[in-house]
Amino acid sequence: MTERFYKGATMSGYFGVGVECMKNKLNYGTLFRTANILGASFLFLIGKRFRQQCSDTMASWRHIPTFSYETFNEFYENMPHDCRLVGVELTDSATPLEQYCHPKRACYLLGAEDHGLTAEALRRCHTLLKLRGEHSMNVAVAGSIVLYHRAMCLSPLENVACATTDA
């Protein structure tokens, strides 16, 4: 799936993106469309059932496996083997995005628009990332920025000052 963004260049690894307890269904449609463009391998929702969204004009669910989980624990038990769970949350302990080295195998998790990630998700994430700003961003915008940063850092077509980890 990375060929859509990387135009035939090879890249090892994969990534998925999803949201826990999302409130606004238009946000996940927008996020999933961006994920499709940037080469996501899978999409997911936790605590909300997937429904087709008009904001996903590419119908990403037709091109990328899309999963729905009732609980965070159900999601966590079904994560791909050797995949890092990367939470996106505005907390003091989170690593600023501009200093982050993306793992080759990652699952990016965003929280609900009003409450962020649950305590359980925060505890189980291998890494937490934060974007600049004193207030939280729209969840689709925040997720899109993280995915674009990943694409730029891991792109074999660009010479950017960003690395990746194999962890």
pTM for the complete prediction? 0.83
- Please tell me the predicted confidence (pLDDT) of residue 4: 40
- Please tell me the predicted confidence (pLDDT) of residue 5: 43
Find tokens 């505890």 and name the residue.
123
Q: Count of domains in the chain?
A: 1
- Please tell me the predicted confidence (pLDDT) of residue 1: 35
The answer to whether residue 7 is domain-embedded is no
pLDDT digits (tens, 9 = 90+) for 90-109: 999 999 999 999 999 999 99
- Please tell me the predicted confidence (pLDDT) of residue 160: 53
CATH number, domain containing residue 58 = 3.40.1280.10
- What residues of the chain score a pLDDT lower than 70? 1-11, 24-26, 48-62, 156-167
The answer to whether residue 6 is domain-embedded is no
- Please tell me the predicted confidence (pLDDT) of residue 53: 54
The answer to whether residue 60 is domain-embedded is yes
The answer to whether residue 47 is domain-embedded is yes
The answer to whether residue 145 is domain-embedded is yes
The answer to whether residue 142 is domain-embedded is yes
- Please tell me the predicted confidence (pLDDT) of residue 66: 85
Q: Structural domain of residue 56, as residue ranges? A: 12-165
- Please tell me the predicted confidence (pLDDT) of residue 64: 81
